[in-house]
């Protein structure tokens, strides 16, 4: 007999070799219906896996990230099987699960069309109804190569050839279809209740532009059709909110062939940007941060010393000045460190908070560029905080509170991840343990739930990441707090302690917006371009009904501008209904309509983007209302 410890601590006994699915059924038949996989001693396994020793068991459903991955991985195999049924000569490449779905890469001598996707999707639905079992088997490497050669799957042969000679290669069979795969999978195709193919794209084999361009079909899968329908609705809503489309329609920004990945901000976009930066400065001044500005170009030796050369050089741009090698900064931290080193510091100076809205440049592959979300130059709202080890928990708590207050202004909910030491890191185990424990202590003190993201920390330290949830349910990683024992060591940073001796400070790297450009892109999509009044590029548009009110329009506009309200006037010889529709399309928070009646009574007729016709108001009352809304930063969602 073996002992199985469940997630709630309960221990059950079973015969050695009992499969996970049978254990799950013994726990609860209804749980087995929901189950898509499991974790045994922390490792993700299939429901078909036999357990032969005392173990900890956690049953995974579609609600678990690893469960979704397992089900969607099977979805990619169903896609490949459907394609091979309909187009037998197509060659298979790879097909992993990804966030929100899966894809499969194919080599075909024709181009897949949307109509073909419909046919493939129908075939996938047939395969699901066939309830085909996924059966795993293994072969020695030479037999695996022969097996794939017989099927004329040259891409699979190449993958197997890259494995060690003594490797045992695993395959999965479902009906007539077999694929090279290490798993895990759900027990049968029937578990994948609802599928949808989403798009077609090009993808180089193994991500290398020197290799052949393949066709990548993207799809997604759910265990309930209602969940799939909700997801498709979210995608359709996301298309309407696409910041690239709205950025053009609202005249906020543009990107040109002359500068791919380098955004141009237009006057209205600059209003939004400046408001965000001003708010950032206001909050950070109150929190006792000191703003600095450091150069964009610094010599190459600095980047060797910081460690960026060894860990980041493929993403950097370089230049020569006076025959010497320089780099355009990809990060702001070395500049902040040089500011720190410029003076002697005492423990009485700590925590020392240096903030910078610093422009950085990073080389991104052209295929990865995406509006403001993925660019080659952007402004990070960095801060670098220097402190003693004893101050870590309290200071991290202060940063968490500051970030929380920021996100509440924009109506964002968020969740938190703790990312631990990556393989490509520098520093001692002792320092990493101290840094990680410091972040854990702060998270616990803040009462925040968090997920551990193993191995995804920065090369110089662990980090806390804040993932924003927008109004249609998508998540965006923005804020981050990174605890760093390495940079102070590499740059020989010191401070004089209370004992009169020199000591090494601890350094925190943190951002709130992350990238201002990307945050603007997120806000455009979050608000669907309808910014709250305090953030709107134009807060009021005033329009006349006839030429007789032109002077009155200008008089009202002047009074609003005097109190700092951003105003546009529309004096075109157009019908008032047309002017109102135009203002609504531009998502302007308030419209003022002026006719003879308003001019005679000395009032204004006000329409709200949100509430419609408000009616006639005194100008002073409207100004009071507007200023209160702006000063309180009322969220319009």
Catalytic residue among 333, 361, 376, 586: 333
Catalytic status, residue 380: yes
Catalytic residue chosen out of the listed positions 362, 374, 376, 587? 362
Out of 81, 380, 482, 586, pick the active-site residue. Answer: 380
Q: How confident is the model over 237-244, as a mean pLDDT?
A: 91
Annotated active-site residue in 84, 156, 509, 541: 509
Q: Which of 105, 179, 381, 382 is catalytic?
A: 382
Predicted pLDDT at 636: 62
Sorted by sequence, the CB contacts under 8 Å of residue 108 that are 6+ apart come out as 87, 89, 90, 91, 215
Placement of tokens 């072969």 in the chain: 139
Q: Which domains does the chain have, with CATH numbers?
A: 2-61 (3.10.20.30), 77-239 (3.30.980.10), 265-295+330-526 (3.30.930.10), 533-631 (3.40.50.800)
CB-neighbour burial class of residue 186 (10 A; exposed 0-12, middle 13-18, buried 19+): buried
Residue 438 pLDDT greater than 90, yes or no: no
Q: Report the 10 Å Cβ neighbour count for 560.
A: 21
- Distance, first Cα to last Cα, the chain: 58
Letter string b/e over residues 313-351, b meaning 16 or more CB atoms within 10 A of that residue's CB: eeebeeeeeeeeebbbbbbbbbbbbebbeeeebebeebb
Look up 284 and say whether it is catalytic: no
On the question of pLDDT at 66 being above 90, the answer is yes
> Is the confidence at residue 513, as pLDDT, over 90?
yes
Catalytic residue status for 174: no
Residues 495, 508: Cα–Cα separation, whole Å: 16
Poorest-confidence range of 57-66, 279-288, 478-487, 572-581? 478-487
Under the banding of pLDDT at 50, 70 and 90, the label for residue 484 is confident
SS3 per-residue string spanning 545-614? CCHHHHHHHHHHHHHHHHCCCCEEEECCCCCHHHHHHHHHHCCCCEEEEECHHHHHHCCEEEEECCCEEE
Q: Is the pLDDT of residue 179 over 80?
A: yes
Q: Of 284, 308, 384, 421, which is the active-site residue?
A: 384
Q: Give pLDDT tens digits for 601-610.
A: 999 999 999 8
Band the pLDDT of 457: cuts 50, 70, 90: confident
- pLDDT level of residue 587 (50, 70, 90 thresholds): very high
This prediction's pTM: 0.80
pLDDT value at residue 244: 94
**Average pLDDT value over all residues in the chain:** 92
The reply to whether 109 belongs to the active site is: no
Is the pLDDT at 637 greater than 70, yes or no? no
- Cβ(472)–Cβ(237) below 8 Å: yes
Taking alpha carbons only, the member of 70, 80, 68 closest to residue 49 is 70
Q: Is the pLDDT of residue 232 over 70?
A: yes
Answer yes or no: 382 catalytic: yes
The answer, yes or no, to whether residue 590 has pLDDT greater than 90, is yes
Question: Which tokens belong to 189?
Answer: 């195709």
Q: What is the pLDDT of residue 611?
A: 87
The two structure tokens encoding residue 524 = 């455009």
pLDDT band at 472 (very low <50, low <70, confident <90, very high): confident
Average pLDDT over residues 164-190: 95
Residue 233, phi then psi, degrees to nearest 5: -60, -40
Q: What is the mean pLDDT of residues 392-420?
A: 92
- Tokens representing 480 are 């981050």
Specify whether the backbone of 35 is left (phi greater than 0), alpha (psi in -120 to 50) or beta: beta
Mean pLDDT of 245-273: 95
Set 361, 463, 579, 607: catalytic member: 463
């Amino acid at each position: 007999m073996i002992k199985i410890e469940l997630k709630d601590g309960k221990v059950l006994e079973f015969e050695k070799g009992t499969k996970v699915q049978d254990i799950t059924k013994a726990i609860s038949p209804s749980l087995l219906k929901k189950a898509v996989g499991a974790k045994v001693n922390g490792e993700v396994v299939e429901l078909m896996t036999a357990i032969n020793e005392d173990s900890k068991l956690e049953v995974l459903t579609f609600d678990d990230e690893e469960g979704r991955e397992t089900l969607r991985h099977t979805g990619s195999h169903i896609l490949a099987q459907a394609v091979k049924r309909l187009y037998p000569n197509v060659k298979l490449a790879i097909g992993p699960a990804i966030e929100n779905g899966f894809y499969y890469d194919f080599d075909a001598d024709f181009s897949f069309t949307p109509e073909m996707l419909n046919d493939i999707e129908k075939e996938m639905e047939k395969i699901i109804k066939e309830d085909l079992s996924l059966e795993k088997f293994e072969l020695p490497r030479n037999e695996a190569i022969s097996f794939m050669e017989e099927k004329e799957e040259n891409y699979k042969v190449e993958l197997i050839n890259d494995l060690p000679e003594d490797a045992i290669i695993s395959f999965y069979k479902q009906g007539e279809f077999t694929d090279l795969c290490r798993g895990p999978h759900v027990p049968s195709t029937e578990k994948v209740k609802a599928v949808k193919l989403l798009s077609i794209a090009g993808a180089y084999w193994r991500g290398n532009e020197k290799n052949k361009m393949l066709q990548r079909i993207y799809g997604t899968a759910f265990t309930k059709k209602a969940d799939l329908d909700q997801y498709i609705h979210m995608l359709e809503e996301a298309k309407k909110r696409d910041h690239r489309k709205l950025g053009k329609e609202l005249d906020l920004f543009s990107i040109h062939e002359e500068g791919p990945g380098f955004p141009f901000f237009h006057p209205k976009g600059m209003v939004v940007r400046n408001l965000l930066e001003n708010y950032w400065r206001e909050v950070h001044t109150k929190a006792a941060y000191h703003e600095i500005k450091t150069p964009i170009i610094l010599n190459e030796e600095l980047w060797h010393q910081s460690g960026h050369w060894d860990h980041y050089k493929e993403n950097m741009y370089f230049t020569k000045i006076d025959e010497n090698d320089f780099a355009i900064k990809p990060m702001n931290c070395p500049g902040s460190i040089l500011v720190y080193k410029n003076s002697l510091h005492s423990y009485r100076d700590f925590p020392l908070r240096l903030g910078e809205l610093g422009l950085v440049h990073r080389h991104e592959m052209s295929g990865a560029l995406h509006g403001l979300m993925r660019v080659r130059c952007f402004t990070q709202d960095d801060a670098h905080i220097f402190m003693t080890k004893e101050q870590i928990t309290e200071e991290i708590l202060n940063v968490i509170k500051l970030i929380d207050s920021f996100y509440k202004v924009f109506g964002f909910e968020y969740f938190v991840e703790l990312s631990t030491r990556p393989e490509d890191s520098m520093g001692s185990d002792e320092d990493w343990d101290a840094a990680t424990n410091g972040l854990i202590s702060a998270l616990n003190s803040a009462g925040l739930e968090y997920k551990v993201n193993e191995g995804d920390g920065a090369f110089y330290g662990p980090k806390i990441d804040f993932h924003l949830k927008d109004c249609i349910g998508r998540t965006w990683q923005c804020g981050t707090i990174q605890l760093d024992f390495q940079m102070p060591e590499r740059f020989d940073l010191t401070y004089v302690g209370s004992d009169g001796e020199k000591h090494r400070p601890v350094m925190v790297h943190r951002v709130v917006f992350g990238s201002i450009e990307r945050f603007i892109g997120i806000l455009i999509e979050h608000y669907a371009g309808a910014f709250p009044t305090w953030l709107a590029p134009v807060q009021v548009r005033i329009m006349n009904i006839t030429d007789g009110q032109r002077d009155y329009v200008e008089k009202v506009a002047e009074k609003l501008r005097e109190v700092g309200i951003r105003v546009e006037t529309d004096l075109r010889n157009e019908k008032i209904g047309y002017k109102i529709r135009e203002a609504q399309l531009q998502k302007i928070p308030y419209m003022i309509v002026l006719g003879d009646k308003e001019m005679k009574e000395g009032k204004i007729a006000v329409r709200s983007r949100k509430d419609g016709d408000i009616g006639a108001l005194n100008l002073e009352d409207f100004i009071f209302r507007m200023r209160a809304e702006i000063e309180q930063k009322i969220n319009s969602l």
